[in-house]
């Protein structure tokens, strides 16, 4: 399986990718997690990426395309299926991805759009806390902030870019740069869409039902 997950910030791409990777024994590549890892290591890439990420801007295509090249070649070498969470985010990135797959002589299985209304995205992002250890995200509860990750017990923190002003900018960037990918993949007959509003398990079930219908194993 070579899957691209599309959807706005907070649409549940990362969460659903975690469910799918267990079920289908594939790996998840989240470019956001990868960049945050580089930031915590204070690497050259991390330092460069942070200045864009903190403002809710995209890291330049040249940087992102360079990273992807190395990683997916590695997946192919290991014959390992994968889910891309957060890549591509622009038309040039999508073109680079398809070009690379063609060079590798393989095909993208599908680009799956998780469709969530904008008000819901804002609600989710502004109340969301992320685990430092496993990147699981959870919403603040009514009684205050959660103290530990419900999945692995790790420490939770609020991402720098999950602040109100940055959220608004990320949504703008999503509209301008990433939404055109919906038509891009539709034209190539690679797009599928599911309703991303509802409980986590319901959304997972919608994806599993779609995969079954499409004969994806």
Residues labelled catalytic: 13, 89, 128, 159, 170
User: Minimum distance between the CB of residue 84 and ligand ADP, rounded to whole angstroms?
Assistant: 9
Token readout for 115 is 């469709």
Token readout for 49 is 């990426």
In the list 27, 37, 39, 52, the residue contacting ligand ADP (rule: CB under 6 A) is 52
Please report whether residue 196 would count as binding ligand ADP according to CB under 6 A: no
Token readout for 107 is 């095909």
Please report whether residue 136 would count as binding ligand ADP according to CB under 6 A: no
The CA–CA distances, whole Å, from 65 to 57, 90, 97, 98 equal 16, 11, 8, 12
User: Minimum distance between the CB of residue 135 and ligand ADP, rounded to whole angstroms?
Assistant: 9
Please report whether residue 131 would count as binding ligand ADP according to CB under 6 A: no
Those residues whose C-beta lies under 8 Å from the C-beta of residue 120, and which sit 6 or more positions away, are 10, 197
Residue 192's closest CA among 110, 102, 109, 72? 110
DSSP state, residue 55: T
In the list 6, 38, 81, 87, the residue contacting ligand ADP (rule: CB under 6 A) is 87
45: left (phi over 0), alpha (psi -120 to 50) or beta: alpha
Q: Which stretch binds ligand ADP (CB under 6 A): 19-27, 58-66, 100-108, 109-117?
A: 58-66
Backbone angles phi, psi at 61, to 5 degrees: -55, -40
- CA 137 remoteness from chain centre: 12
Is the Cβ of residue 2 or residue 89 nearer to ligand ADP in the bound state? 89
User: Minimum distance between the CB of residue 57 and ligand ADP, rounded to whole angstroms?
Assistant: 6
In the list 2, 9, 38, 97, the residue contacting ligand ADP (rule: CB under 6 A) is 9
User: Minimum distance between the CB of residue 195 and ligand ADP, rounded to whole angstroms?
Assistant: 18
Question: Which residues contact ligand ADP by CB under 6 A?
Answer: 9-10, 31-32, 35, 52-53, 56-59, 64, 86-87, 89, 93, 161, 170
């Amino acid at each position: 399986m070579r899957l691209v997950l599309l959807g706005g910030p907070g649409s549940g791409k990362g969460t659903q990718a975690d469910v799918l990777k267990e079920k289908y024994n594939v790996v998840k590549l989240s470019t956001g997690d990868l960049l945050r890892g580089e930031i915590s290591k204070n690497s050259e890439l991390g330092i460069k990426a942070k200045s864009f990420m903190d403002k809710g801007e995209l890291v330049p295509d040249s940087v992102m395309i360079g990273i992807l090249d190395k990683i997916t070649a590695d997946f192919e070498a290991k014959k390992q299926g994968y889910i891309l969470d957060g890549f591509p985010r622009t038309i040039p990135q999508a073109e680079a991805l398809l070009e690379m797959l063609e060079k590798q002589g393989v095909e993208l299985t599908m680009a799956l759009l998780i469709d969530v209304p904008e008000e819901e995205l804002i609600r989710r992002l502004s109340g969301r806390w992320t685990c430092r250890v496993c990147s699981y995200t959870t919403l603040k509860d009514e009684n205050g902030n959660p103290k530990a990750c419900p999945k692995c017990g790790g420490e939770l923190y609020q991402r720098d870019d999950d602040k109100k002003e940055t959220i608004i900018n990320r949504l703008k960037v999503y509209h301008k740069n990433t939404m055109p990918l919906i038509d891009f993949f539709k034209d190539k007959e690679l797009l599928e869409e599911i309703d991303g509003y509802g409980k986590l398990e319901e959304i997972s079930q919608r994806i599993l039902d779609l995969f079954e219908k499409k004969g994806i194993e």
